[in-house]
């Protein structure tokens, strides 16, 4: 059976995080959905279906061809479903006839037994037709579906618990040069990978949930990590950092200060003191020293967030900042409860900047202007070179597309 992970590109509520990522490329728990499927089916090639504007970028990043030809039988999985082994098994068990899978009001996948149905589904997920007009049985599956960025944060603790089952808990690799003064509390719920460095006085506490420290991570002296938590490959937790439960730190991040219930996708920096709570930070973001996020209103009311000009009541009491790729804050930046920052922003200065920061904005509380794209691109290249990466021509083109797509959101800026 062929597996096809498809992007629900009709859902724009995940912008600005999905300007440079498909929905199945967003981290929740330890993994992205693409990474989970690779774990579930290590011997099976997972095909991908994405928006035309992302196709070349995804091929470059994932090394997987996109928008493949119809093959039967095929199981199509929506990228917005938080996949678990149990859910994927349910899909497989129910896959014996042409099937449309639903969860509540959402279509979450298809099984194509015939070429005719497979062709219809491919036309739909590639945007050629607006709906699937074909007879199939319908099956309801109970699962979590991501619709808005704050859903990733809300379900992160649950997914950390589920993803931990994919690791051999209780293993502290012999090659980990653990300091004698390191404290491991409830180590049977930990996995500490190869070549992990544990600094003197560091504390890992899995009393309230699993702690996963992936290969080549560095936990510096006197850092405290409380589970459930994940520290990704080659990430560095700075001296004295306080990492509370519900936090996912993807690969190649540098994190310090105080962090709670927050996702750092990958290649994100928060090296210094300051608080980040109930937030999501995309790749190549950087928080300047003593940047602080507010994640709770003084009157404890539900938090509202604006996504690309549309305001929503999130229904959440705790929600900090959603920051898309390549955005940065300067020293002592204060971010209000429910702040959304688009791609490629540079925020600085005293006071609270607006809660709705369109992509490629420059400034802060004193006012915003459009970030000159050439200057932004020079900074993006410098940012990636510091991590021995290169901003390819394909990445540049995707960034240019995001700049043009969001131009209207910056129309009110003064020149």
pLDDT tens per residue, range 308-353 = 999 999 999 999 999 999 999 999 999 999 999 999 999 999 899 9
CATH superfamily of 158-410: Hexapeptide repeat proteins (2.160.10.10)
Q: What angle do CA 175, 238, 272 make, to 5 degrees?
A: 165
CB of 224 closer than 8 Å to CB of 260: no
CA angle in degrees (0–180, nearest 5) for 97-102-103: 145
What is the rounded CA–CA span in Å between residue 237 and residue 219? 5
Of 45-49, 152-156, 188-192, 385-389, give the lowest mean pLDDT range: 45-49
Strands, E, within 233-309: which ranges?
236-237, 242-243, 247-249, 254-255, 258-260, 263-264, 269-270, 275-277, 280-281, 286-287, 292-293, 304-307
Q: Residue 357: name the closest of 56, 3, 349, 367 by CA.
A: 367
Per-residue pLDDT band for 367 (boundaries 50, 70, 90) equals: very high
Backbone angles phi, psi at 394, to 5 degrees: -70, -40
Question: Does residue 176 have a pLDDT over 90?
Answer: no
State the pLDDT at residue 327. 97
Q: What is the Cα Rg of the chain in Å? A: 21
Are the CB atoms for 28 and 19 separated by under 8 Å? no
CA–CA distances in Å: residue 140 to residues 74, 88, 89, 345? 18, 13, 14, 41
**Residue extents of the structural domains in the chain:** 2-147, 158-410
Average pLDDT for residues 15-40, to the nearest whole number?
94
Burial class (CB in 10 A: 0-12, 13-18, 19+), 388: exposed
**Best CA proximity match to 285, nearest among 218, 226, 347:** 347
- Asked whether the predicted pLDDT for residue 209 surpasses 60, the reply is yes
| Adjacency order of strands within the sheet including 275-277 | 183-185, 203-205, 224-226, 242-243, 258-260, 275-277
Sequence-distant (6+) residues with CB within 8 A of 69 are none
Instruction: Give start and end residues of each alpha helix (H) in 184-302.
Output: none
CATH of 2-147, one of 3.40.50.410, 3.40.50.12240, 3.90.550.10, 3.30.930.10: 3.90.550.10
Bridge partners of residue 391, in order along the sequence? none
3-class SS of residue 303: coil
- Average per-residue pLDDT for the chain: 92
* Total Cβ atoms within 10 A of residue 7: 25
Based on the number of CB atoms within 10 Å of its own CB, is 131 exposed (0-12), middle (13-18) or buried (19 or more)?
exposed
For residue 47, name the pLDDT band (cuts at 50, 70, 90): confident
What sign does the CA torsion over 360, 235, 187, 185 have?
Answer: negative
């Amino acid at each position: 059976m062929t597996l096809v992970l498809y992007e629900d590109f009709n859902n724009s509520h995940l912008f600005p995080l999905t300007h440079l990522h498909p929905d199945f490329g967003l981290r929740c728990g330890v993994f992205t959905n693409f990474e989970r499927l690779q774990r579930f089916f290590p011997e099976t090639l997972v095909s991908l279906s994405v928006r035309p504007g992302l196709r070349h970028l995804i091929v470059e990043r994932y090394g997987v061809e996109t928008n493949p030809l119809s093959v039967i039988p095929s199981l199509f999985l929506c990228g917005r479903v938080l996949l678990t082994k149990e859910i994927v098994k349910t899909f497989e068990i129910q896959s014996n006839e042409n099937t449309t899978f639903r969860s509540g009001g959402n279509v979450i996948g298809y099984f194509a037994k015939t070429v005719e149905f497979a062709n219809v589904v491919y036309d739909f997920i590639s945007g050629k037709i607006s709906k699937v007009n074909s007879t199939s049985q319908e099956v309801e599956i109970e699962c979590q579906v991501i619709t808005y960025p704050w859903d990733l944060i809300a379900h992160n603790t649950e997914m950390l618990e589920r993803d931990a089952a994919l690791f051999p808990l209780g293993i502290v690799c012999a090659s980990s040069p653990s300091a004698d003064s390191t404290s491991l509390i409830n180590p049977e719920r930990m996995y500490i990978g190869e070549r992990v460095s544990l600094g003197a006085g560091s504390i890992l506490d899995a009393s309230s949930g699993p702690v996963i420290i992936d290969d080549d991570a560095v936990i510096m002296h006197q850092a405290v990590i409380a589970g459930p938590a994940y520290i990704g490959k080659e990430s560095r937790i700075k001296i004295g950092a306080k990492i509370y439960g519900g936090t996912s730190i993807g690969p190649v991040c540098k994190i310090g200060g105080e962090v709670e219930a927050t996702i750092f996708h990958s290649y994100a920096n928060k090296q210094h003191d300051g608080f980040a709570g109930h937030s999501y930070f995309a790749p190549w973001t950087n928080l300047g020293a003593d940047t602080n996020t507010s994640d709770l209103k003084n009157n404890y009311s539900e938090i509202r967030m604006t996504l690309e000009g549309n305001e929503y009541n999130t229904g959440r009491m705790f929600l900090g900042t959603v920051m898309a790729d390549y955005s940065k804050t300067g020293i002592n930046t204060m971010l209000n409860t429910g702040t959304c920052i688009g791609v490629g922003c540079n925020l600085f200065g005293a006071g609270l900047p607006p809660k709705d920061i369109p992509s490629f904005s420059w400034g802060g509380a004193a006012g915003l202007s459009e970030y000159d794209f050439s200057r932004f691109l020079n900074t993006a290249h410098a940012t990636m070179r510091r991590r021995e990466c290169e901003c390819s021509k394909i990445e540049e083109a995707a960034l240019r597309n995001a700049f043009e797509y969001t131009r209207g959101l910056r129309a009110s800026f003064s020149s």
